[in-house]
């Protein structure tokens, strides 16, 4: 990631852009961080605890009683996992999910969606990625909570997660995001940042990731700024492989207990920063699951090496993230923001839900869960339907995907959609037509959404496209870039996970008496 990508490993041994080794790099700084955390009564959950929250000490779980899941309280770190119940105060044995059936999807294959709005503080799973990127720097002494500023570039949820994690750990967090993102994101940030200047708005909207990179390059010129660029931070990949992958595994085993013939046929995820899609790597290892990456049809980067603008907030584009294990990806799906915008409006409207209930027989439980789907979540649902169609999956071949956040993050987007596409209001006829065109009959539209199954040549094409961002623009060495073609490289990276857990455990042990949080 050039200067600002490597800044995230400042003081450590950087073995690849955005990747540091699991070893103490500054003992003196680590000691100062320990003293600060001890004074504040802080303790860090291990990655293993976030992957399997049942292993969190009972007294620590009990200590969460009465803690507001949206509060800037360090005890909420022990809620940064997929096992929060609907109210987000209690733990769930199985991660919260919904199984969408043929009445809604039109396909035989069940579509299983994990619900990201059960996460604390930001109501989105990106808070997990932020934790996975910051904590390794703290426990190795590569980040000074009192002197450094943590810079969190994203298109919305990751920077909110970064600000939340930074705040409760006593660090200064700075959000960098496009000015055209949803108003709800900026309202949340105003409540959490230490000062208004800690929210930096870059030009454009969801598609303008390059402008975010440019701003980060400017910020990285100041040694006090440490950029945690999710697109090249391998902590993003590791925490999703380890925690999100296990969450999907848990849900699958839960469903298969009563449906032993059920197969986990496909995993679908919009790439965004390509963190979440790492869960697919784990599922492929365990179950032979095929992995589908999703992007906006209006900016078909993987499909056509293309460009454009779109409003599927949460999935950046015009580049291939450095942490995307492209050569393990089996398909690419393009989804139109016309579909996600329109369905966001219709799903939120009584007319739309009534039509689904009356005309399609969609069960009430599934209708209630439509509120758990934000724009990128609807995108993942549509892509899952397309994958099921393309692969001709049957009723015992499930497609798993993720709802990264809920509809509440996009309420203000509905007004613009209604004004642009529905003449200012939604009536029953328009709701029915939208559901037909944008959900049930999308596959019939000429030039509409598409699925491309990737062979060796397709994977090579997508991988090679990343060269222009990472080597030519951002200064990554050709050796570092090429190394990621090999699955052995990724396996070596994941083999470091036990050592990262040991470093967190050792840090907590030195805090003494469990750290107190």
Extract the tokens encoding 369.
Answer: 């869960």
Which of these, 126, 468, 458, lies nearest to 322 by C-alpha position?
468
In contact, 130 and 164? CB cutoff 8 Å: yes
Mean pLDDT lowest among 4-8, 229-233, 245-249, 289-293 = 4-8
Mean pLDDT of 370-378: 94
What's the pLDDT score for residue 180? 86
Extract the tokens encoding 269.
Answer: 């995820």
pLDDT at residue 359 is higher than 90: yes
| Burial degree of 161 (CB within 10 A; 0-12, 13-18, 19+) | buried
Mean pLDDT of 215-227: 94
Virtual torsion, Cα 221, 224, 229, 235, nearest 10 deg: 140
Task: Give the DSSP letter of residue 124.
Answer: B
Query: How far is the C-alpha of 298 from the C-alpha of 307, rounded, in Å?
Result: 8
pLDDT at residue 276 is higher than 60: yes
Extract the tokens encoding 455.
Answer: 């062979």
For the chain, what percent of residues have pLDDT higher than 70?
Answer: 94
What's the pLDDT score for residue 272? 84
Confidence of residue 5 (pLDDT cuts 50, 70, 90): very low
Domains in the chain: boundaries: 2-92+123-234+504-511, 97-120+238-453
Mean pLDDT of 144-163: 93
Q: Residue 149: in which H helix or E strand, if any?
A: strand 149-153
Confidence of residue 471 (pLDDT cuts 50, 70, 90): very high
**Straight-line distance from the first to the last Cα atom of the chain, in angstroms, rounded to the nearest whole number:** 35
Other CB atoms within a 10 A radius of the CB of residue 128 amount to 26
Pairing verdict, β 149-153 and 19-20: unpaired
User: pLDDT tens digits, residue range 161-190?
Assistant: 999 999 999 999 999 999 988 888 899 999
CA-based torsion, 473, 156, 268, 488: positive or negative: positive
pLDDT at residue 4 is higher than 50: no
User: pLDDT tens digits, residue range 91-127?
Assistant: 999 999 999 999 999 999 999 999 999 999 999 999 9
Q: Which CATH class is domain 97-120+238-453?
A: alpha beta
CA dist 448 → 299, 451, 485 (Å): 13, 10, 31
Nearest-Å Rg of the Cα atoms of the chain is 22
Which of these, 497, 47, 494, lies nearest to 247 by C-alpha position?
47
Q: Residue 358: in which H helix or E strand, if any?
A: helix 350-360
Note whether 2-92+123-234+504-511 and 97-120+238-453 share their fold.
yes
Q: Is 403 helix (H, G, I), strand (E, B) or coil?
A: strand
Tell me which residue has tokens 């032993």: 260
Query: How far is the C-alpha of 219 from the C-alpha of 223, rounded, in Å?
Result: 9
pLDDT at residue 14 is higher than 70: no
Would you identify the CATH topology of the domain 2-92+123-234+504-511? Rossmann fold (3.40.50)
Q: Is 439 helix (H, G, I), strand (E, B) or coil?
A: helix
**DSSP state letters, 283-301:** HHHHH--EEEEEEETTS-H
């Amino acid at each position: 990631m050039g200067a600002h990508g490597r800044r995230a490993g400042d003081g450590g041994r950087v073995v690849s852009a955005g990747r540091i080794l699991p070893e103490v790099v500054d003992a003196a700084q680590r000691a100062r961080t320990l003293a600060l955390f001890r004074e504040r009564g802080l303790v860090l959950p291990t990655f293993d605890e976030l992957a399997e929250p049942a292993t969190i000490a009972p007294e620590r779980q009990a200590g969460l009683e009465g803690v507001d899941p949206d509060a800037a309280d360090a005890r909420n770190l022990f809620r940064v996992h997929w096992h929060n119940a609907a109210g987000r105060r209690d733990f769930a044995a199985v991660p919260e999910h919904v199984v969408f059936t043929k009445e809604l999807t039109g396909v035989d294959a069940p579509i299983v969606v994990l619900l990201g709005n059960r996460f604390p503080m930001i109501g989105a799973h990106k808070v997990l990625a932020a934790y996975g990127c910051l904590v390794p720097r703290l426990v190795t002494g590569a980040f000074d909570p009192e002197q450094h500023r943590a810079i969190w570039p994203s298109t919305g949820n990751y920077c909110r997660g970064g600000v939340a994690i930074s705040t409760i750990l006593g660090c200064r967090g700075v959000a960098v995001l496009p000015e055209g993102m949803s108003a709800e994101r900026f309202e949340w940030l105003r409540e959490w940042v230490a000062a208004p200047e800690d929210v930096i708005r870059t030009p454009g909207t969801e598609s303008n990731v390059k402008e975010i990179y440019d701003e980060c390059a400017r910020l990285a010129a100041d040694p006090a700024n440490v950029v945690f660029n999710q697109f090249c931070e391998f902590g993003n990949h590791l925490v999703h492989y380890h925690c999100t992958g296990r969450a999907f595994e848990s849900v699958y085993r839960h469903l298969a207990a009563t449906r032993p013939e059920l197969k986990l046929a496909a995993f679908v995820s919009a790439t965004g920063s390509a963190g979440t899609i790492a869960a697919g790597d784990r599922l492929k290892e365990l179950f032979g699951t095929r992995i589908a990456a999703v992007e906006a049809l209006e900016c078909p980067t993987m499909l056509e090496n293309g460009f454009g603008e779109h409003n599927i907030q949460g999935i950046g584009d015009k580049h291939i993230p450095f942490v995307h294990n492209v050569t393990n990806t089996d398909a690419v799906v393009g989804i139109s923001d016309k579909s996600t915008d329109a369905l966001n409006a219709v799903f939120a409207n009584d007319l739309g839900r009534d039509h689904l209930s009356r005309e399609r027989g969609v069960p009430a439980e599934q209708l209630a869960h439509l509120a758990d789907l934000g724009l990128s979540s609807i995108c993942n649902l549509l892509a899952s339907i397309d994958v099921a169609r393309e692969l001709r999956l049957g009723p015992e071949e499930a497609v798993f995907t993720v709802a990264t956040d809920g509809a509440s993050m996009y309420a203000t987007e509905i007004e613009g959609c209604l004004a642009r596409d529905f003449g200012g209001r939604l009536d029953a006829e328009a709701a029915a037509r939208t559901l037909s065109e944008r959900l049930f009959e999308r596959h019939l539209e000429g030039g509409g959404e598409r699925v491309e199954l990737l062979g060796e040549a397709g994977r090579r094409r997508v991988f090679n496209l990343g060269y222009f961002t990472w080597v030519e623009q951002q200064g990554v060495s050709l050796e570092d870039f090429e190394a990621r073609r090999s699955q052995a490289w990724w396996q070596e990276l994941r083999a470091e996970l036990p050592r990262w857990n040991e470093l967190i455990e050792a840090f907590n042990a030195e805090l003494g008496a469990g750290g107190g949080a």
